[in-house]
């Protein structure tokens, strides 16, 4: 049995600390969109660690343990090398660090494409080892039978269409998708296929805006935009991108902070203190008693 679950106010007989909020559920996210309208857009960010989850959780509806952790945390060249073990370890940390948001975990490349049965085995492992509420997988209509297989067996699924980074070797670049009418029609069709198959949300990444608007109107589930449109039913960004941890980000990222500059400033001050013997100072040393 997994030891990675955390206490949850919805189900626990104990009071978890810190005093938590009630965790949102997948049906609560689904209910945000009624009659094709989402009055309160869904707030989603990526999180890969327990501490970051603690900081983001009170302000988000959903936390995504994205396979973007391959690049952001591990310095890998793409998401392709990310493993199920990595996703489970980081997923469990994010569940432990959160009490409010619906936690969704990316299924890594190679863990679900071969068959619905392979996808079920991988998704079941993710849910058992992390305590997350659902999984996300990339791909459109071709993945619809897999999405149906999972959802009919009790696994909530988020789809991902448009720019699908796990397909970088086939796509050739991370540029925006849907510039031809044929590709635009395909992306909207992909979103509809996933919705029909039972996905409770679909991430629409890196598409020209009219596609995101058309897909959002065409599906009954919530659409989560990233490089898509403010008309989507919610938005997601990689937290480290919006916090300004990296010099290079995609056009669609809005930087709300410059954390890299803050860290560099602090480390420079620390290095100066160490070399001048100003650190540790009187407040940071232990003195003999009496
Ligand atoms: O891996 C990830 O972080 C993602 C989001 C960017 C949607 O899939």
Q: Is 236 in the pocket of ligand 1 (CB under 6 A)?
A: yes
* CB proximity list for 163: less than 8 A, separation 6 or greater: 171, 174, 175, 176, 177, 205, 206, 207, 227
Contact 117, 111 (CB under 8 A): no
Per CATH, the number for 26-240 is: 3.20.20.60
pLDDT at 212: 98
3-state secondary structure of 238: coil
Ligand 1: distance of its center to the CA of 63 in Å?
Answer: 11
Instruction: Write the pLDDT tens digit of every residue in 191-219.
Output: 999 999 999 999 999 999 999 999 999 99
Q: Is any atom of ligand 1 closer than 6 Å to the C-beta of 226?
A: yes
pLDDT, position 6: 63
- Tokens representing 187? 């992306």
Q: How far apart are CA 68 and CA 55, in angstroms?
A: 19
Q: Strand 37-38 and strand 62-65: pairing?
A: unpaired
Phi, psi of 104, rounded to the nearest 5 degrees: -120, 140
Quick one: which H or E segment has residue 234? strand 234-237
Identify the active-site residue in 129, 205, 209, 264.
205
Give the pLDDT of residue 276.
98
Q: How far apart are CA 69 and CA 73, in angstroms?
A: 5
Cα 256 to ligand 1 centroid, rounded to whole Å: 18
Predicted confidence at residue 3, as pLDDT, reads: 44
Q: Is 235 in the pocket of ligand 1 (CB under 6 A)?
A: no
Q: Splitting the chain (290 residues) into consecutive groups of 10 residues, what average pLDDT does each group show?
A: 55 58 93 96 97 93 98 98 98 93 98 98 97 97 98 98 97 93 98 98 98 98 98 98 95 97 98 98 94
Q: Is the CB of 238 under 6 A from ligand 1?
A: yes
- Sorted by where each begins, the domain ranges of the chain are 26-240
Query: Which residue, by CA, sits nearest to atom 8 of ligand 1?
Result: 66
Report pLDDT for 155: 98
Q: Is 117 exposed, middle or buried (0-12, 13-18, 19+ CB in 10 A)?
A: exposed
Which ligand 1 atom lies nearest to the CA of residue 236?
A: 7
Cα(254)–Cα(104) distance, integer angstroms: 23
- 140 with 187: CB under 8 angstroms? yes
Q: What is the pLDDT of residues 256-284, one digit of tens each?
A: 999 999 999 999 999 999 999 999 999 99
Indicate the top mutation candidate among 48, 236, 242, 243 to test ligand 1's pocket, ranked by most ligand atoms within 8 A of CB. 236
Q: Which residue has the tokens 């049906």?
A: 27
* 117 counts as catalytic: no
- Ligand 1 atom nearest to CA at 68: 1
As given in the structure block, the two tokens for residue 256 are 């709300």
Nearest to 224 by CA among 51, 104, 99: 104
Counting ligand 1 atoms within 8 A of each CB, the residue from 164, 202, 227, 238 with the most, and so the one to mutate, is 238
Q: Which helix or strand (DSSP H or E) is residue 264 part of?
A: helix 259-275
């Amino acid at each position: 049995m997994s030891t990675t679950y955390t206490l949850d106010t919805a189900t626990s007989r104990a009071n978890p600390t810190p005093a938590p909020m009630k965790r949102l559920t997948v049906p609560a996210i689904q209910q945000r969109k009624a009659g094709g309208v989402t009055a309160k857009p869904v707030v989603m960010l990526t999180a890969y660690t327990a501490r970051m989850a603690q900081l983001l959780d009170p302000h988000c509806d959903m936390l995504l343990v994205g396979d973007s952790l391959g690049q952001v945390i591990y310095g890998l060249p793409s998401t392709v090398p990310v493993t199920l073990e990595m996703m489970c370890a980081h997923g469990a940390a994010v569940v432990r660090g959160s009490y409010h948001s619906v936690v969704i975990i990316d299924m890594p490349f190679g863990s679900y494409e071969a068959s619905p049965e392979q996808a079920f085995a991988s998704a079941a492992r993710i849910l058992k080892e992390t305590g997350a509420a659902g999984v996300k997988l990339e791909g459109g209509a071709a993945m619809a039978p897999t999405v149906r297989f999972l959802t009919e067996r009790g696994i909530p699924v988020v789809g991902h269409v448009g720019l699908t980074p796990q397909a970088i070797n086939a796509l050739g670049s991370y540029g925006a998708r849907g510039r031809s009418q044929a590709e635009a029609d395909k992306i909207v069709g992909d979103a509809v296929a996933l919705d029909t198959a039972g996905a409770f949300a679909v991430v629409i990444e890196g598409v020209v805006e009219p596609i995101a608007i058309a897909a959002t109107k065409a599906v009954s589930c919530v659409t989560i935009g990233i490089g898509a449109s403010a008309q989507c039913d919610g938005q997601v960004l990689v937290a480290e991108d919006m916090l300004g941890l990296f010099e290079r980000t995609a056009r669609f990222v809005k930087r709300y902070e410059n954390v890299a500059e803050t860290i560099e400033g602090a480390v420079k001050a620390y290095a100066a203190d160490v070399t001048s013997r100003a650190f540790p100072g009187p407040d940071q040393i232990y003195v003999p008693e009496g």
